[in-house]
Amino acid sequence: MIGDSYDLRTPEQVDLQYDLAGLGSRSLAMVIDMLIQGAVILALAVVFGLGAALLALNARSLFNDASSTIVIVGVAVGVLLVFLLGWGYFIFFELTWNGQSPGKRVAGIRVLTARGEPVTLVHSLVRNILRLVDILPSSYMVGAVTILLSGRSQRLGDMAAGTVVVRERREELPQTLPLIDPQFALPDWIARAFTAEDVVLAREFLLRAPTLAPMQRYELGEKIAKRLHARLAAAGHTVPGSVTNEGLLASVAAVRA
């Protein structure tokens, strides 16, 4: 453990490193999940409340004391659904969304086992049943304290289940170089005039070019092309006038790729 990183060596002797989710990102995820749960519970309360009231009114005319029984049954079913939603919500999503609830997905965090594997039903059951302790005395105070004091940013449920909550790394897809027109391709004997530094410079420009302003792109491309032309001239070679600056850069990058 170094800082907020979690280093792990798998049974296959592969070293992995995860960024542990801190109290801030976990709190954000919890707030989002509680808002979703609250909205669903409110909707269920309205539906069951209206349904029980209508059944009670209809039953009053048919049965003397049936209305009160219907109301009691309706309330009991509603309480059961609220309980299942409150504790089954996290279990359901962690198993179907590979360790994420809607709040965790928005916050960019995920639950894994301490071995870096996806959580199973047992892991999810244990860590979520222990929420009953982590929420004490209110507002997840016990859980917040244990996250801050634990070396792996774990609440009591995570410690008991053997799980950790990590941040997802959102990395950009690698960029590819633009395709080169075959007629502008430089033969190998000319390509030997360029150094590895020239090739790297050409490749970096081509990757950055789409993000540059038009004038900046032209000036920078011209500056690099002059350097490449000078390199060719020193080796006694020239490039056809039809080859543009960026065409030359693409040719250099492609031949030496």
Amino acid 35: pLDDT: 93
Highest mean pLDDT pick, 9-23, 159-173, 233-247: 159-173
- Sign, CA dihedral 210-213-219-223, equals negative
Can you read off the two tokens belonging to residue 154?
Answer: 């774990």
Helix (H) or strand (E) holding 15: strand 15-20
Q: What is the arithmetic mean of pLDDT over 65-89?
A: 71
CA distance 26 to 131: 14
Q: What is the arithmetic mean of pLDDT over 194-206?
A: 83
Amino acid 174: pLDDT: 55
26-58 exposure pattern, b = at least 16 Cβ within 10 A, e = fewer: bbbbbebbeebbeeeeeeeeeebeeebeebbee
Amino acid 2: pLDDT: 40
Q: Residue 213 pLDDT > 80, yes or no?
A: yes
Amino acid 257: pLDDT: 47
Q: Residue 1 pLDDT > 60, yes or no?
A: no
Q: What is the arithmetic mean of pLDDT over 239-252?
A: 76
Regarding pTM above 0.85, the answer is: no
Rounded (10°) angle between helices 214-234 and 245-255? 60
Can you read off the two tokens belonging to residue 48?
Answer: 């069951």
Longest dimension (CA), the chain: 109
Q: Which of 147, 166, 116, 144 shows the shortest CA–CA distance to 15?
A: 116
Amino acid 96: pLDDT: 93
What length is written for the chain?
257
Give per-residue pLDDT as tens, 69-80. 666 766 677 677
CA triplet 207, 212, 213: central angle to 5 degrees?
155
Q: Residue 161 pLDDT > 70, yes or no?
A: yes
pLDDT band at 56; cut points 50, 70, 90? low
